[in-house]
Structure 1
Amino acid sequence: MKIRLGPLHAKRRAMFGKLALWLLKRAPAPVFKPESIRKVLFLRDNDKFGDLIVSTIAIRELKLAGKQVDVIAGLRNAELLKLNPHVDQLHVHNDKLFSVIKLALQLRKEKYDLLIDLRNEVPTYKDIVLMSWSKVRHVIGFNRELYPVFDVNLKEDFSLNQHAAWRNFALLEALHIDCKHCNRHYDVHIDSVEEGKVQTYLKNLPKQRTLLINLKGEGPYRRLDQAQLDAILAYMQGNYADWNIVLTAKPEDLAGISTIGMQKSPFRTYFAAVALVKYADVVISPDTSIVHAAAAFDKPLLGLYEKDRTSTYLNSRAWGPNNQNAVVVQSSEFSVYSIPLPALVEGLAQVMNNNFPHINERKISYDMAEIKN
C-alpha cells in the first residue's frame, strides 16, 4: 500500500532535498596548476594516529618546499601535531555537523589553494560539506573519480599492494615537488615534559635495557593473549634476563591478564606510549599506530598482524612497518591472538638476534604448563 505524504511533509522533504543539494554543491574548479599552489590544507580528522604518522612525510616535505601547511585534525590526534614545526596552523573540530559547518565557514576566509585528502575511507556527506563550503580552489584525493567534489584525482592500483606511505610521494610528484632525495622518515614530535617523565621512569627500572610490549590495537582481534605474553616472558627470561619487560595497555584491557614478571606502564596517553617507543630498545605491537611510531624512530620491532581480509588489498603490506629494523609475524586467522607460540617466539628471537645478538640462546618448550613454570 502506497502512503501519500501530506502537503506539509512533501514541502519539508522538498526543502531538505534542495538544502542537501545546495550544501554539497561546489563551484567548478579552475585548471589545476601545481606551480600555483601556495597554501595547502590536510584533512586528517579521523583520529587514526597511525594514518596521521604516515602522512607526516608529505606535511614536512610540503613545508620544506615553501608551502603554508595547515591541518584539520580530530580532537584526539591533534595532540600529535601541536609540536610539529612543519604545521603552520591546526584546525581542530569534532564530527558534529554544526562543528563541520562552522569550521568550513572559518576555512573559507583562509582562501586555501588545495585541500589534501590521503585517506582510504569513503567521504561522508560531512566531508563533502566541508570540502564544498570551505571554497578551496582544488581538492585532491586518491581514487575519487565518483566524487565530483574532488577535481584532482590520483590513481592507486590496490593490486600492487603498495605501502600507504607511497601516497605521500605520489602527492608530492603531482605537485611537481622533487622527492628523490627527500627524508623518507615519519616526522613525530613529543612533548618534552611527557618525554622527560618517560625517560625518568625507564631510568628507574631495575635493568638497563627494555622490551616494550603493546598489548592491544584497535578492535577486538588485534591483541595478545595470556599464553602469548607467557611465551614472550619465558623467552626473555631464558635468553635476556637482564632486560626489563614493560607492558603498555589501557587499564580495562588488562582485566584477566597476569603481569607477573613484567612492569605495567603507569602512563595512560598515546603520546606517553610514543615516548616509551622512542626510548625502549625493542617494541612488540599488534597496533599499527605503535608500529608506525617505532618506524619514526628506527626502533627494532616485532609487528603482529592478523590474516588479510581480502586478496586484493593486503592490510599487512599497505600498513606494514615500513621499517628496516622490523620483523612481521602474521596469523593464518583473522586475529593476532591466534598466532602460534612457536611463530611468535621465532619472530621475537629474530628481532633480538638481529639487534642484540645472544651467543647461547636457550630453546623453550611450547607446552604452556612448562612456560608458566
Structure 2
Amino acid sequence: MIRKVNRVIQDFLRPIRLGIGKMMWDKKDRKSLELVQGDRVDMKSVKSILFLRYDGKIGDMVINTLLFREVKKKYPNVKIGVVARGAAKDIVKFNPYVDEIYDYEKGKERSLGERVRKEQYDVVVDFSEMLRVNQMKLVNLCGGKVNIGLDKESWKLFDLSYKKSYDKHITEMYKNILKLLGIENPDLSYEIYSDKDVKNRIDRIVKGVEGEIIVLNPYAASKHRSFNRERILEISKKVLKDQKNVLLYIGEPSKKAEILEIIETLKCSRVLYPQLKGILDVAELISHAKYIITPDTSIVHIGVSKNIPMSAVYRLDTGDNNSIVWGPNSERVKQIFSKDVPKVGEEADINKFDVEEIVV
C-alpha cells in the first residue's frame, strides 16, 4: 500500500520537477551558428565530439560503438569523448576509436560538467528520450558549442535534433545521428575490444574445455525477463543431449549459489560455471562459443558483436516494438517469444516459451 501511494505521489510530482528543471537548464549561453550548416554540423570546423551515454546500459553502449568507429573513420583527427557509467565503461575501455572516457556519477553533474566545459567540445550528442533534471543540468554545464538531442526541436538547449524510428532497429536512429555529422551509408556493425590480460584469462578457461562451448545466460535485469529454475534445467538438458557440447553458465556473483545448485542437480561433468571478472571477460568468453542462449538483455548485442549464432528469448511486444527496436538485428540469431499476455499493471513472464524452439 505504501509503495502504491509513493508511486502515485512520484507520478504527480515528476512533471512538476521536469517543468522546473527545464525552466532552469533549457538555455544556452550562445549559439555557435558557424558550426551549423542547414540541418547538419559543419564538420570542417569540428575538432571534438562528446557522446553522453550516462544511463549505464551495457547493451546500448555495445551498439553505440558503431558511432565512435564511423566518426573516427571519416574524421580521424576529431577527438571522441564518451560519458559512461558503471560496467558500460568497460565496453569502451580499450576501444581504439575513443580518446577520452568520463565517469558519470549521479549527483556529481556539476563537477563533471565543469571538467568537460574546460575541454571545449564542439559537438555534444545526447541519447535521452526524456531528459531528467540532472541530465538537463549536465548537458547545459558541458557547454558544447553544438548540442544534438533526440526529438528536441522545441528546446533552447539543443541546436539540432534527430528522430527515432519506433518500427525499425535502433541502428536506424544512429544512422540519423551520423547523417547530421555528414556520414552516409555507415557500417552498422558493433565491436568490443579487450586487452591481453582478459584474453589470457579466458584462454586459460577455454583450454580446459573439451568440447564445443554453449553459453547459457539465464539472467536479465529483472526477474520477469530472467529464466526461472525450471526453464534453466530444461534448456540445460536439451544442450547436454549432444555429447560434444559443454555448457557454460554466465551470471553475476549474486547468482552463484543458484547456478551451483543447478549444476549439482544436473550431475554432469560437461557443465561449468567459470569465474569471470567483468563484462569484458563475458564478451571474450562469448567469442569462443559455438552457440549462445539468452533472454533479451545485453548478451544479445555482445553476441551479435562477436558474430556468434544464438537463440534469444523475448516477451511479446505490447505496443513498444521492443523486439524490433532493440532486437538482435542479425540473421544468425533466432528470436523466440514468450506466449504470456500480462494483466493490466503486471509484467509479462518471459518463461512462457517452448524450449523445443531452441536449436543448438
- Per the shorter chain, which TM-score range? 0.7 to 0.9
Secondary structure of the corresponding residue to residue 162 of structure 1: coil
Deviation sequence 1:308-351 (CA, Å, 0-9, x none): 2x32x211111111222100101122122222xxx2222x22xx
Q: In structure 1, what is the equivalent of residue 6 of structure 2?
A: none
Identity %: 22
Q: In structure 1, what is the equivalent of residue 153 of structure 2?
A: 145
Is 1:105 the counterpart of 2:114 in the alignment? yes
Code of the residue aligned with 1:242 in structure 2: it is K
Using the size of structure 2 for normalisation, the TM-score is 0.83
Using the size of structure 1 for normalisation, the TM-score is 0.80
* Superposed displacement of residue 18, structure 1: 10
* Superposed displacement of residue 255, structure 1: 4.6
Secondary structure of the corresponding residue to residue 336 of structure 1: coil
In the alignment, structure 2 segments of 5+ residues that lack a partner are 1-18, 341-347
Counterpart Cα distance in 1 of 2:49 and 2:118: 14
In the alignment, structure 1 segments of 5+ residues that lack a partner are 1-16, 353-373
CA contact (8 A) 2:55 2:85 kept: yes
Secondary structure of the corresponding residue to residue 265 of structure 1: coil
Q: In structure 1, what is the equivalent of residue 224 of structure 2?
A: 221
Deviation sequence 1:28-80 (CA, Å, 0-9, x none): 42332322333100001111000001111011111111122111111332122
* Superposed displacement of residue 93, structure 1: 2.5
Q: In structure 2, what is the equivalent of residue 319 of structure 1?
A: 326
CA contact (8 A) 1:298 1:324 kept: no
Code of the residue aligned with 1:57 in structure 2: it is L
* Superposed displacement of residue 22, structure 1: 5.1
Q: In structure 2, what is the equivalent of residue 25 of structure 1?
A: 27
Deviation sequence 1:256-295 (CA, Å, 0-9, x none): 5512232112224222111111111111111421100001
Counterpart Cα distance in 2 of 1:305 and 1:76: 23
Counterpart Cα distance in 2 of 1:217 and 1:299: 19
Radius of gyration: which is bigger?
1
Q: How does 1:126-145 map to 2 (within 5 A)?
A: 126-145=134-153
Counterpart Cα distance in 1 of 2:112 and 2:163: 29
Q: How does 1:1-373 map to 2 (within 5 A)?
A: 21=23, 24-31=26-33, 32-33=36-37, 34-35=41-42, 36-66=45-75, 67-96=78-107, 99-120=108-129, 122-158=130-166, 161-178=167-184, 180=185, 182-205=186-209, 207-238=210-241, 240-256=242-258, 257-259=261-263, 260=266, 261=268, 262-308=271-317, 310-311=318-319, 313-333=320-340, 334-339=348-353, 343-346=354-357, 348-349=358-359, 352=360
CA contact (8 A) 2:215 2:248 kept: yes
Secondary structure of the corresponding residue to residue 287 of structure 2: helix
Counterpart Cα distance in 1 of 2:104 and 2:62: 19
CA contact (8 A) 2:169 2:326 kept: yes
CA contact (8 A) 2:314 2:323 kept: yes
* Superposed displacement of residue 123, structure 1: 0.9
Secondary structure of the corresponding residue to residue 338 of structure 1: coil
* Superposed displacement of residue 184, structure 1: 2.2
Counterpart Cα distance in 1 of 2:20 and 2:337: 50
Secondary structure of the corresponding residue to residue 221 of structure 1: helix
CA contact (8 A) 2:25 2:157 kept: no
Code of the residue aligned with 2:221 in structure 1: it is E
